[in-house]
């Protein structure tokens, strides 16, 4: 079985990722500072690592075969302070950006050439206090970070692209995840419906953790090399109102590209569909 290190495998998206990869035949090792909950700890070995320490990262990626047989084929880097405002800006930056550099540098040192990074929808310009240039938003316009957290994600993507330039055999897929949800989170969604301004900050987007995990697995399987960024969101919005109607009310001056039907996502997943074969399977509407 191919072996993959998943950093942050104890987190919300990380747990779904570990479970999905194990179910699809990957040999997974969870690298995190937080021990995993019961089931995840049973299906994947856990290694406690401080990713801000380069020596620990190299050891985790290079010595992991003391716990399981064989070398490491790929790395999925999800571990991070996961959003703006969780800690002081400098703390967020000092944790997230060096950790990603350490993952990329250790992978280069150890000749691991398949890396998936967790980026963020925030690089698209969230919270859209300044309206987006068009909708649905996609990967075609240059990132517009509006927070230190988002700035860090842009720097991480920039580093990844340069690591790929240094090593033509390297493949890095940067996944710009939307707001990650579990089924139990969907109980809140009816409360969004009366006020479209409550969720305008990310164009009413979300990602079911299980569909996020699918995106990770497909990115690991992506053919070719080099750096690519993908928006990973669900196929619909968090709202019952049609997406075009929401845009007309809240962002009347933002041009719409193409035909937007029903509750179609305004965080375009067309590149992920075309390149990765990504097709979301879950919707909050089945749980509320």
Confidence at residue 131, expressed as pLDDT on a 0 to 100 scale: 98
C-beta separation of 28 from 50 below 8 A: no
Q: How confident is the model at residue 199 (pLDDT cuts 50, 70, 90)?
A: very high
Report yes or no: 185 and 124 within 8 Å, Cβ to Cβ. Answer: no
Q: Which tokens is 176 given?
A: 């710009």
Give the list of residues 6+ apart from residue 216 with CB closer than 8 angstroms, or none: 17, 20, 21, 76, 116, 175
Between the two ends of the chain, the Cα-to-Cα distance in Å is 38
| Cβ-based neighbours of 169, under 8 Å, separated by 6 or more | 113, 225
> Nearest 5 degrees, angle CA 270-CA 166-CA 32?
70
Mean pLDDT across 111-117: 98
What's the maximum distance between 2 C-alpha atoms anywhere in the chain? 58
pLDDT in tens, 34-91: 999 989 999 999 999 999 999 999 999 998 765 545 589 999 999 999 999 999 999 9
Q: Give dist(CA 8, CA 69) in Å, integer.
A: 22
Decide: 19 and 43 in contact? Cβ < 8 Å. yes
- Tell me the pLDDT tens digit for each residue of 137-180: 999 999 999 999 999 999 999 999 999 999 999 999 999 999 99
pLDDT, residue 63, reads 82
**pLDDT given at position 90:** 98
Cβ-Cβ contacts under 8 Å for 195 (sequence gap 6 or more): none
Binning pLDDT at 50, 70 and 90, where does residue 1 land?
confident
pLDDT value of position 81: 97
- Measured distance CA(11)–CA(1) in Å, rounded: 24
The predicted structure's pLDDT at residue 70: 56
Q: Is 29 exposed, middle or buried (0-12, 13-18, 19+ CB in 10 A)?
A: buried
For 209-250, write each residue's pLDDT tens digit: 999 999 999 999 999 999 999 999 999 999 999 999 999 999
Q: Which of 47, 28, 70 is nearest to 217 (CA)?
A: 28
- The secondary structure of residue 58, as a DSSP letter, is H
Share of the chain above pLDDT 70, in %: 98
> Which residues, other chains included, contact 268 with Cβ-Cβ below 8 Å and sequence gap of 6+?
136, 137, 138, 139, 231
> Which letter does DSSP use for residue 222 in this model?
-
Give the predicted TM-score (pTM) of the model: 0.97
pLDDT for 71: 87
């Amino acid at each position: 079985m191919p072996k993959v290190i998943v950093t942050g495998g104890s987190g919300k998206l990380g747990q779904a990722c570990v479970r999905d990869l194990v179910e699809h035949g990957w040999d997974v090792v969870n690298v995190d500072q937080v021990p995993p909950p019961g089931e995840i700890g049973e299906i994947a070995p856990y290694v406690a690592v401080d990713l801000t320490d380069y020596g620990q990262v190299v050891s985790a990626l290079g010595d992991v075969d003391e716990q399981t047989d064989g070398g490491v084929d790929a790395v999925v880097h999800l571990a991070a302070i996961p959003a703006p405002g969780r800690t002081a800006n400098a703390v967020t930056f000092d944790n997230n950006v060096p950790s990603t550099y350490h993952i990329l540098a250790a992978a280069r040192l150890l000749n691991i050439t398949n890396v998936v990074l967790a980026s963020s929808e925030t690089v698209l310009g969230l919270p859209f206090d300044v309206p987006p240039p068009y909708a649905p938003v996609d990967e075609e316009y240059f990132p517009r970070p509006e927070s230190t957290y988002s700035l860090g994600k842009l720097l991480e993507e920039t580093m990844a692209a340069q690591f790929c330039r240094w090593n033509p055999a390297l493949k890095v897929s940067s996944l710009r995840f939307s707001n990650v949800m579990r089924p139990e989170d969907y109980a809140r969604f009816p409360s969004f419906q009366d006020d479209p301004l409550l969720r305008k900050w990310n164009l009413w987007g979300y990602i079911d953790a299980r569909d996020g995990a699918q995106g990770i697995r497909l990115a690991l399987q992506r053919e070719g090399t080099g750096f690519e960024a993908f928006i990973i969101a669900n196929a619909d919005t968090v709202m019952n109102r049609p997406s075009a109607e929401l845009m007309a009310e809240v962002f009347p001056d933002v041009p719409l590209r193409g035909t937007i039907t029903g509750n179609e996502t305004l965080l375009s997943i067309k590149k992920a569909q075309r390149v990765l074969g990504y097709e979301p399977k879950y919707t909050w509407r089945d749980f509320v």
